[in-house]
Structure 1
Amino acid sequence: MKQSVYDLTQQHRSIRQFKDEPLSKETIKKLVQAGQMASTSSYVQAYSIIGISDPEIKEALKEISGQQHVVDNGYLFVFVIDYYRHHLINEATEGNMKPSLESAEGLLVGTIDVALAAENVALTAEDMGYGIVFLGSLRNDVAKVSELLGLPEHVFPLFGMAVGVPSEDEQGSPKQRLPFEHVFHENKYQSASTEQLEQIKQYDEDIQAYYEQRTNGQRSESWSAQISKMMGQKTRPDILDRLNEKGFIKR
């Protein structure tokens, strides 16, 4: 019996080691079509998906990312916010879409559209037996990614996704998420700091145990320590400038 979508979601984990088995053109098309059927705000469809098959481009993207699985995978996708087609429509119809294209709301709509399409692609790939990993590391140098992919104004790269057949060496397991009670708030946000901190404390203990078991004691780190370290560093300070250069969030 085919497993349920719920069961599939509970098995998700990032795959970073793939077999050398390229995806077929038919599979690539199905994955993109699955992405296209995701919900889209007001039918705007403010995204595009760029498939990377050129080894030189993959190598250049790997240099930006710093991750070998940008090259070693079955196929590489790059997901972009795309208002270029809307810009062309605006010029052709002498419309008044510029305020929307340059607004913070426009950026949110595009980002949400991309995320929804990408999750459809990811879930479909996993249903087909493939593994995936998202690659936010492509934002390490947005200007270079834009140059490599020939992205015009109103098109902005958000992240990549490597897809492929998981290697036998890939022995990871799903990471436990935050407790249901911590994430789900009914009717009103439950902001009591004492309760929230207690839930986080218990979660930290669970994550420490996960890392210790997975690494045979080589790593013992709580979620709080991991997040504090990561978010305490100023990362990608040029993103706002790059967005502005592409015509985004100017008002």
Structure 2
Amino acid sequence: MGDYVDLPGVRTWYETDGSGEPLVLLHGGFCTNATWGAQRADLAAAYQVLLPERRAHGHTPDVAGPLSYRDMAEDMLAFVERVVEGPAHLVGWSDGGVVALLMAIARPDLVRRVVAIGANFRPSSECFVEPAMLDAMTPEGPDLALFREMYEADSPDGADHWPVVAAKMIEMWRTQPTLTTEDLMRVEAPLLVMVGDDDMMTLEHTTALYRAVPGAQLAVVPGASHLVPLEKPALVDRLILEHLSQDEVDTMMPVRRAPAAGVPGGGAS
């Protein structure tokens, strides 16, 4: 079932499913809640799943001016405050992962645990395997055909607004996000970074994200691309559920997570 909530930034469409601790699913760029179809049932069996569609996506209208990850993060923080009325787990895919990271940095009190799938923290020129892919994207071109169909099916702004939104999204990818490793160090929520081994983002960039966030975990899914939740749904769902229910990481031979010297139980320097 779905409904609208009036947030300060934009009137936002969302859906809910299941019961239990709140879990907010943040879809990717140009996408809608339909892209969570492979995860929704498994996650809703254990959590109250909330699926907001961000500004200019799905049933949620566009707003005047450029699109930015920070504005979307502010929208989603307002959503958590207004609808969840307390802290929630976040699972974000692609752009949704960027939004989740920004939310965790800005309001750690509202974020429990985070899974960021195929996320980046720098603009496309610094993290895409093929940065030139954006040059080939046009509103009416074949690369965006599937996204255009999703947009035209649901958007309250109408099909004629698609070229405007497409141009805004491509510009956002060229110039954002602009987080630093110092920014990422402020993420307090336990974080799982997940990526396909053949993702749009370089593995070097993903590893930098993982290393920057204290205590983060990394899952590189073999034989998978940026669409890993669709390609390996059972594995992705299991990794998400394990991370959300995990009290702490307890391995037999820790290196990166080894207690510091001088701390009770710590090793020698």
Q: Give the TM-score normalised by the residue count of structure 1.
A: 0.29
Pair member with larger Rg? 1
Q: Greater strand share, 1 or 2?
A: 2
- TM score, norm. by length of structure 2: 0.28
Structure number with greater CO (CA < 8 Å, separation at least 6) is 1
